[in-house]
Chain A
Amino acid sequence: MSFDVVLEQTYPYPPERVWRALTDSDALGQWLMPNDFEARVGHKFQFRSKPMPGWRGFVECEVIEVVAPLRLAYTWLGDADWQEPTIVRWTLEPIEGGTRLRLEHSNLQEPWGRELQAMLSQGWKKMIAEKIVRVMEQFESVAGG
C-alpha cells in the first residue's frame, strides 16, 4: 500500500528561473538539501544532511527524466531499509505572470511497510501505543533534512 503527496505552488517567475532552482546543484542546495545533482538521466546522486538517530543522513537518488524546463523526476531512497525507492516528480507549467510548479512524491510506503504488517496482525490500539510513535519519529528525522 502506498501514499502519494501532491502539492502545487505558483511562483511569479518564468519556468526557466524555477527550472534553474530545481536543477542547479548550488541553488538546489540552498532551498532543499546539499547535493551532487546533475540534470542528466541515469545520474546517481545524493541529498545530504546531518545524520540523526533513526536516519542515516542522506537520500540516494537517480535521475529518471529531464525535459527542460518542464519536467524533472528522480528516484528518492530515504534510508537503507526502504524496500523500494519513492519517486519525486516536478512539473512546471507556464502561466500568466509566472510558473505553476507541481510536486508529486509517489510510492511512499516505507519505512512503514513492516509496521503496517505488524499493525494488521496485532491490532490498532497496540500499534498506536507502541509503534506509531517510533515510525513518526523516523519520519520526523527524514523530513527534518
Chain B
Amino acid sequence: MKSKTPINDSFRAIADPTRRAVLDLLSEGEWKVNDLVGRFRMTQPAMSQHLRVLKQAGLVNSRRAGRERLYRIRPDQLKPIADWVGQYERFWKRKLRGLGEFLEKEK
C-alpha cells in the first residue's frame, strides 16, 4: 500500500482548513510561495508541504518565474469539490450574519 490513488489525495488535500484557505486565495490568481507564507504566518517548509499535497492531488499547478515559484489552481479539478465542501461553510456564514442583524435589531 505504498502508492496512494489521486482520488484519495484529493480528499486529504481538502480535508485541511489551511489548504482550503490556500485554494480560496489561489482562486483569485497566481501566488508566490513567499507571499502565501506571509499571508498565513507559517514557515516556508510548512507552506511548501501544503502546496505539495495540493499539487499531488492535481488541484494546483506551479511554474517557475526566475527564482520564484508561482502557484495557481486548476479550476476544472477544483470546482465540484469546493462547492461540495463549502455548503456548510456558506450555511454558517449566512447564519452568523443573521445573528449580527438580530443583535443589532434587538438593541
Interface of A with B (CB < 8 Å)?
1-7, 9, 11, 13, 17-18, 21, 27, 30-32, 101, 103, 105, 108, 112, 116, 119-120, 123-124, 128, 132, 135-136, 139-140, 142-145
Which of B80, B85, B96 has a CB less than 8 Å from the CB of A9? B96
**Residue count of chain B within 8 Å CB distance of chain A:** 30
Which of B7, B84, B98, B106 has a CB less than 8 Å from the CB of A124? B7
Least distance between A23 CB and chain B CB atoms (Å): 12
Beyond A1-B15, A18-B103, A30-B102, is A136–B84 a contact (Cβ under 8 Å)? yes
**B44-52, B60-68, B87-95 - the one binding chain A:** B87-95
Given contacts A30-B102, A101-B99, A132-B84, 13 further A-B contacts (CB under 8 A): A5-B92, A7-B92, A9-B99, A21-B102, A32-B98, A32-B99, A103-B92, A108-B88, A112-B84, A116-B11, A136-B83, A136-B84, A143-B88
On whether the beta carbons of B96 and A1 are closer than 8 Å, the reply is: no
On whether the beta carbons of B96 and A27 are closer than 8 Å, the reply is: no
Closest residue of chain B to A132 (Cβ to Cβ) is: B80
How would residues 62 to 86 of chain B score, 1 for a CB under 8 Å from any chain A CB and 0 otherwise? 0000000000000000001001110
On whether the beta carbons of B102 and A120 are closer than 8 Å, the reply is: no
On whether the beta carbons of A5 and B89 are closer than 8 Å, the reply is: yes
On whether the beta carbons of B17 and A4 are closer than 8 Å, the reply is: yes
Contacts of A132 in B (CB 8 A): 80, 84
Which of B6, B10, B84, B99 has a CB less than 8 Å from the CB of A31? B99
Which of B87, B88, B99 has a CB less than 8 Å from the CB of A11? B99
Contacts of A27 in B (CB 8 A): 102, 106
Q: In the complex, what distance in Å separates the CA atom of A138 from the CA atom of B22? A: 26
Beyond A120-B5, A136-B83, is A31–B102 a contact (Cβ under 8 Å)? yes
